[in-house]
Structure 1
């Protein structure tokens, strides 16, 4: 039983997913607290971190959903942690970048454009819980990279 509680605690984003309002946003905000550690890794190690935490997340989220008997319970926010980490792979961690990356991730996670919405509806289990946030993170990463490559980013920040 203790083991299950530990798994649930991590899947619930170390408690951030227990927020009665906007647990996904709270999980994403909690994930931002890990960026100082994530940011000191080289980008190849950041990619390894994302891959490992994704694989662990498939198990964590799947196990928690099975135990709770609810697919993709709103409190399961480990997927938000991995999605946020994806957004910030090889990105300078300045305040403007963090704010923009967070907003872009939340936008894609909430709006769920194709193929995110399709995967969210069709793919079940731990992989299904994780994959929509992974794609939201990838889409946000591409948008953030595009922003960083323009002169506009230098003009505003």
Structure 2
């Protein structure tokens, strides 16, 4: 389970293991989109969330640290959620997902911003001090990043184009 929680040991890369975990999630999201589009990315996100929750429960059981920095499976889930608008948008427009590269960058930057600063409900989830809290703070950060990406895209296409 340590291999899953660390996303194949990516969580042991220093410095900033959460950023490395988020970066490592990108090619997997790309591959999932290529193979099965948005719907495969969605199903994989739910599956990895559940697997990550179980792995986090197991590796933190009996530990004082409920969220060791090397656990980055939560960043993978959050990053994939941040990319939902990109994957869905590419599928709806019938274009290659790489053509929405600004969305990839916005999703990554916004996700890291929300994950690091932990505003509002993100911080509340983090403070639960449970394996579910470990996973949920990144789910919420991913949702905020996805919403932020949609807003940025709307501003760009609505006002600047």
**TM-score, with normalisation over the residues of structure 2?**
0.83
Deviating more after overlay: 47-56 vs 16-25? 47-56
1:32 and 2:26 matched: yes
Question: Out of 125, 129, 137, which is 1:124 matched to?
Answer: 129
How many angstroms apart in 1 are the aligned matches of 2:73 and 2:62? 16
Instruction: Please name the residue that 2:5 is paired with.
Output: 11
How many angstroms apart in 2 are the aligned matches of 1:9 and 1:154? 45
Question: Out of 74, 77, 82, which is 1:82 matched to?
Answer: 77
Tell me the matched-pair count. 149
How many angstroms apart in 2 are the aligned matches of 1:96 and 1:64? 36
Give me the CA root mean square deviation: 2.0
**TM-score, with normalisation over the residues of structure 1?**
0.85
Where structure 2 has 5 or more consecutive residues not aligned to the other structure, the ranges are 91-96
Higher helix residue share:
2
Deviation digits for residues 27-64 of structure 1, max 9, x if unmatched?
11111121221222232332222111111111011111
